[in-house]
Amino acid sequence: MAKDEAKASDFSKGLLKSEELYKYILETSVYPREPEVLKELRNITHNHPQAGMATAPDAGQLIEMLLNLVNARKTIEVGVFTGYSLLLTALTLPEDGKIIAIDVNRDSYEIGLPVIKKAGVEHKIDFRESEALPALDELLNDKANEGGFDFAFVDADKVNYWNYHERLIRLIKVGGLIVYDNTLWGGSVAEPDSSTPEWRIEVKKATLELNKKLSADQRVQISQAALGDGITICRRLY
């Protein structure tokens, strides 16, 4: 089998200033352990004009470990795109595991669906084509769902992350995890606005506010890691 080499588009997902170092991490620790179906979906997604929206493979590796650490069986995914993190989750969950996957765009999900079917895990996925807020509110309408989920991964419209948090904190069990992607927003959170491209400003401001609120939220234990575009892991305390 040919060595899986990091492609140029992989580096757009990393915050490390050295492409060589990021390439070393991917080719040494990430790609050798990446299941073939995930590799296939990652390669398919490389051809998408918005390929940068996909979950970074090194962040995905950490998510897999987190799922295992909490023995996740029921999860929520807000934002699916072509389904890299969704497939990773489905592969990690036990045979009776379930994922409620929410996205406004089923077309992108359909790109990855053949690979998901090939992997034999489609039965674990409940895909809901919807805006996330009404979908989460619908879940909360059933009291049995409160504290009924082990894990949530959020990679969707950044300006609504805090609104998602206020709902997910009720849906995730005590001791469960909520993981937010893109919480360093290309490193722009540490730059002056004058150095930030105009198209990044709105989300940058929302991300700065989110990070401040998560830091002050005593309901969760947090860890922010510079993987991919920055991920923040929240463990519900009460």
- In the chain, what percentage of residues exceed pLDDT 70? 94
Question: Rg of the Cα trace of the chain?
Answer: 17
**More reliable by pLDDT, 136 or 6:** 136
Torsion of CA 32, 34, 40, 41, to 10 degrees: -140
Distance between CA atoms of residues 132 and 167, nearest Å: 10
| pLDDT value of position 93 | 98
Dihedrals φ, ψ of 108, to 5°? Answer: -65, -40
pTM of the predicted structure, to 2 decimals: 0.92
Given a cut of 60, whether residue 53 has pLDDT beyond it is yes
pLDDT tens-digit series, residues 211-220: 999 999 999 9
| pLDDT value of position 15 | 78
Distance between CA atoms of residues 18 and 22, nearest Å: 6
pLDDT tens-digit series, residues 89-101: 999 999 999 999 9
| pLDDT value of position 157 | 95
- Asked if 115 and 88 count as a contact pair (C-beta separation under 8 A), the reply is no
Indicate the SS3 state at residue 126.
Answer: strand
| pLDDT value of position 98 | 98
**More reliable by pLDDT, 234 or 2:** 234
| pLDDT value of position 230 | 94
Given a cut of 60, whether residue 81 has pLDDT beyond it is yes
pLDDT tens-digit series, residues 138-176: 999 999 999 999 999 999 999 999 999 999 999 999 999
The pLDDT mean for the chain works out to: 94
pLDDT tens-digit series, residues 6-43: 665 565 556 777 889 999 999 999 999 999 999 999 99
Dihedrals φ, ψ of 117, to 5°? Answer: -65, -40
Number of neighbouring beta carbons within 10 Å of residue 192: 7
Given a cut of 50, whether residue 1 has pLDDT beyond it is no
Q: What is the DSSP letter of 156?
A: S
